[in-house]
Structure 1
Amino acid sequence: MDLVKLFEQDYHRKPEALSRAPGRLEILGNHTDYNEGFVLSAATEQATYAALARRDGSLCTLRDTALENQTFTIDLNDLDHPVKGDWTNYIKGVLVELKRRGIAFGAFDLLLSSTVPLSAGMSSSAALETAFCYALKKLYGIELPKAEWARVGQSVENRYLGLKSGLLDQFSSIFGKKDSLILCDFRKVEVLDTVPLPAGYGFMVANTLVKHNLVESDYNR
């Protein structure tokens, strides 16, 4: 997949920033991230990709390769209220959280593409948030610590969407390393160790097609 070429086809110009954010696997420590515990996790080969370029005005154009021939628009002057069931809430939520931190940005054209399966327990939403965050980071030169970028994504879900969630998903996407696990301490909010997998070993993941929905989970009731 050539995201640059697809962006050019959609927007008739080259993107100014590209980013990639992986999904995650939770190996040990289920539900301990929001209880200040330890979690062993891994970033996945499957990832979300973002291509971004500046545009004039306050209207932003969003497209996703999975939603062919559909164009979505958001207005930078109308970000305060999420729309139920609208995936662009994750984009708007990131912008709201950056504004809350006093970070300036302008309008943009965005193209997304992802190989992270939706509602499969691999944190497709965190991958989307992180890919968009890092594209904005490159486009506007936004400097935040990695842990703070993770908090931006978490705040999208906690404050903007009203969902309960910890930092595991965003941490795994941001700090994960190829062929490695990461051990995180969520009391100190830091990565304690990166654990390389033995040569020749890996994780095989099967998509059961049973949908996982954080909104409807017991944790969010």
Structure 2
Amino acid sequence: MTTPDEKTLATLTKLFEEEFGPIGDRQVLYVHAPGRSEISGNHTDHEGGHVIAGSLDVAVDGIAVATDSNKIRVADEGYPTFEITLDTLDIQESEKGTSASLVRGMAHEVAALGVEPQGFDFAFTCS
């Protein structure tokens, strides 16, 4: 399990609290996704699981907190915060080509697996 360094955690906490308010005693999920590059092959889904990938010294780090709302709100350092409501998971023409459409699409696929998507706030940074 990866744990954030103090600087990264401080940056994430500041971003989260500026956008969504104090974390307080709520449970926080920390996520870390290291960067990678496909040297040979591309996407395991159509390469039969065979690729040669290399790691990079970049990553995405974020913190998420579950909410009682019917919304997913996302804050990305350096970009406008956005939200989607989970009232409808159908394609929204006004969202096409946006990050909101990706989040709605992921919620749609979670629902297709028989799990009801729940609201949360998420703040992340990229190095």
- TM-score band by shorter chain is 0.7 to 0.9
> Structure 1 residues 22 and 93 mapped into 2: Cα distance closer, same or farther (>3 Å)?
farther
**Richer in helix (by share):** 1
Q: Does 1:9 align with 2:21?
A: no
With the length of structure 1 as denominator, give the TM-score of the two structures.
0.45
Q: Deviation at 1:33?
A: 5.3
- Name the structure 1 match of 2:48: 36
1:69-116 deviation line (CA, Å, top 9, x unaligned): x3312011122205222112222222111111122342111212112x
Does the CA contact (< 8 Å) of 1:33 and 1:39 recur in 2? no
Any unmatched runs of 5+ in structure 1? 116-221
Provide the C-alpha distance between the structure 1 equivalents of 2:44 and 2:32, rounded to a whole number of angstroms: 27
> Structure 1 residues 57 and 37 mapped into 2: Cα distance closer, same or farther (>3 Å)?
closer
> Structure 1 residues 62 and 37 mapped into 2: Cα distance closer, same or farther (>3 Å)?
closer
Provide the C-alpha distance between the structure 2 equivalents of 1:98 and 1:42, rounded to a whole number of angstroms: 29
- Name the structure 2 match of 1:204: none
**Which of 83, 93, 96 is the equivalent residue of 1:73?**
83
Matched residue pairs, number? 113
Identity among equivalent pairs (%) = 30
Residue pairs, 1:170-181, within 5 angstroms: none
Any unmatched runs of 5+ in structure 2? 1-7
> Structure 1 residues 94 and 9 mapped into 2: Cα distance closer, same or farther (>3 Å)?
same
One-letter code aligned to 1:99: A
Provide the C-alpha distance between the structure 1 equivalents of 2:68 and 2:106, rounded to a whole number of angstroms: 20
1:115-136 deviation line (CA, Å, top 9, x unaligned): 2xxxxxxxxxxxxxxxxxxxxx
With the length of structure 2 as denominator, give the TM-score of the two structures.
0.73
Does the CA contact (< 8 Å) of 2:70 and 2:118 recur in 1? yes
**Which of 95, 104, 118 is the equivalent residue of 1:92?**
104
CA RMSD between the two structures: 2.3
**Richer in strand (by share):** 2
Secondary structure at the counterpart of residue 99 of structure 2: coil
1:46-89 deviation line (CA, Å, top 9, x unaligned): 1112221122231232211121xx33120111222052221122
Q: Does 1:111 align with 2:123?
A: yes
Residue pairs, 1:39-188, within 5 angstroms: 39-67=51-79, 70-82=80-92, 83-115=95-127
One-letter code aligned to 2:89: L
